[in-house]
């Protein structure tokens, strides 16, 4: 097991289309996933795509804690650690919603990103089985964010209004001032 180095925005590995995994049950893929899980736990993120750790393959992992799901207004109780090999995403409605996103490849920053609120996604498991799931809201957002990484897309590329993109520390200060002004 190993904690892998995370590529940051600007690195070529984050800009390319990642390759399909030919054999999801291959031991090398299992080893990649094991290291990705360890890296994600160390970084305390919600999700991680293989290109973020310099592996240009179509593999993502994510996990949504129950507390986070309820904080985001989702009705579900979080999502257990999921490993998606060769995932596909299909919107199930035209409805979009904006929400704050951050990314381990863009440390310290966050932005307001519109995403489809209701999707279906399919993927292969490490056993080679095919799985389909439906997702809404925060769950759908995380899947779209992670799968974008496989096509060389980082969330700032999805932000229509770049005044809503910045450093988390500055964001929270601005939010704090706005709250104080509202209180005054």
CA 179 to chain centre: 29
Least separation in angstroms between residue 52's CB and Ni ion is 6
Q: Which stretch binds Ni ion (CB under 5 A): 23-31, 61-69, 99-107, 109-117?
A: 99-107
Three-class DSSP category at 46 = coil
Among 4, 21, 79, 103, binds Ni ion (CB under 5 A): 103
14 near Ni ion, rule: CB under 5 A:
no
Of 53 and 85, the one with the shorter C-beta distance to Ni ion is 53
Instruction: Give the burial class of 127: count Cβ atoms within 10 A of its Cβ; 0-12 exposed, 13-18 middle, 19 or more buried.
Output: exposed
Least separation in angstroms between residue 99's CB and Ni ion is 14
Closest to 4 (Cα-Cα) out of 47, 46, 75, 54: 54
Q: Tell me 54's DSSP state.
A: T
Which segments within 94-136 are labelled E, that is strand? 96-101, 109-116, 118-124, 130-136
Selected catalytic residue, list 38, 132, 146, 169: 146
Q: Which residue is nearest to Ni ion (CB)?
A: 103
**CA separation, residue 55 to residues 67, 114, 143 (Å):** 31, 27, 18
32 near Ni ion, rule: CB under 5 A:
no
CA 58/CA 85 separation, integer angstroms: 6
Least separation in angstroms between residue 182's CB and Ni ion is 32
Q: Which stretch binds Ni ion (CB under 5 A): 73-81, 96-104, 116-124, 163-171?
A: 96-104
146 is annotated as an active-site residue: yes
Least separation in angstroms between residue 158's CB and Ni ion is 11
Task: Report, as residue numbers or ranges, the catalytic residues.
Answer: 146
Q: Which residues bind Ni ion (CB under 5 A)?
A: 103
């Amino acid at each position: 097991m190993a904690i892998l180095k995370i590529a940051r925005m600007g690195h070529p590995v984050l800009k390319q289309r990642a390759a399909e995994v030919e054999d999801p049950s291959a031991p090398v893929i299992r080893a990649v996933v094991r290291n990705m899980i360890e890296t994600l736990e160390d970084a305390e993120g919600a999700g991680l795509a293989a290109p973020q750790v310099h592996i240009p393959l179509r593999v993502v992992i994510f996990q949504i804690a129950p507390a986070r799901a309820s904080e985001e207004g989702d009705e579900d109780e979080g999502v257990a650690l999921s490993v998606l090999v060769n995932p596909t995403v299909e919107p199930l409605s035209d409805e979009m919603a904006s929400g704050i996103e951050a990314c381990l490849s863009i440390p310290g920053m966050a932005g307001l990103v519109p995403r489809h609120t209701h999707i279906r996604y399919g993927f292969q498991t490490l056993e080679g089985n095919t799985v389909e799931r439906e997702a809404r809201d925060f769950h759908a957002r995380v899947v779209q964010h992670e799968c974008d990484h496989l096509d060389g897309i980082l969330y700032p590329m999805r932000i229509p209004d770049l005044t809503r993109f910045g450093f988390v520390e500055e964001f929270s200060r601005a939010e704090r001032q706005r709250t104080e002004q509202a209180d005054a």
